Amino acid sequence: MTQQRKQEITRYAVVTVDGVDDINQYGDLNFSDTEGNKHKIGNKRSKLFEAIIPGRAVKLGYAVYMNKEYIASIELFDGQPAEPTHSAPQAKSTPVKNESSFSMPPKQEMTADKWAEKDRITRKSIERQTSLNAAVEVSKSLPPDKVTSANIIATAKVFEAYLEGKEVQPAKSRIVEQAKQLGAKSVDEEDLPPF
């Protein structure tokens, strides 16, 4: 069960509404105050739109979510009741289709099968990256004339097979044998500098 986050007002501002600028394609209301400042109320708080009446003072309550400040509450501040004949701006229920603007695709729900497929693809990608990195490290011990992209890819495939659990022969002995065939010395055979 999800918990609803408690909204905490961090500051207030009193402004006089100059006018409504627009309701954007996402249903957010943009308005200006008499001092020329621009404000936005997200479509999640469309119930607050009715308090945006040109010429009226409003008290804006700001909250913070993910380090971004947003208008969380509005109340009329000039002591006059709202005019019953005034129709408040309404949020659009669907985004406006505009050929020049970007529109978000409908959000798809992640099912257990989709998560499993996503995990499988991610795991495979990580295995391939890890295998390639290991193959590059192995190639560093080879003489430069023996290092080719084909050798690196072949070695990476050996590591990848091992990570997938398909390895029959122990990977270490197979890689050591391949490296010896290419002329590389093992760590045990290298001449250590005298100290």
Q: How far apart are CA 152 and CA 112, in angstroms?
A: 36
CA dihedral (155, 156, 161, 165) positive or negative: positive
Name the H helices within the chain: 112-139, 149-163, 171-181
Q: What is the mean pLDDT of the chain?
A: 76
Asked if pLDDT for residue 113 goes beyond 70, the answer is yes
Question: Best-predicted range by mean pLDDT among 98-107, 108-117, 142-151, 164-173?
Answer: 142-151
Asked if pLDDT for residue 92 goes beyond 60, the answer is no
Q: Say which amino acid occupies 1.
A: M
pLDDT at 187: 56
- How does DSSP classify residue 75? E
Where is 22: in which H helix or E strand?
strand 9-23
Q: Which domains does the chain have, with CATH numbers?
A: 9-76 (2.40.50), 112-181 (no CATH)
**Contact call for residues 40 and 30 (beta carbons, < 8 A):** yes
Contacts 24+ apart (CB under 8 A), 73-81: 73/9, 73/48, 74/41, 74/48, 75/51, 76/51, 77/14, 80/56
Asked if pLDDT for residue 61 goes beyond 80, the answer is yes
pTM above threshold 0.75? no
157/6: higher pLDDT? 157
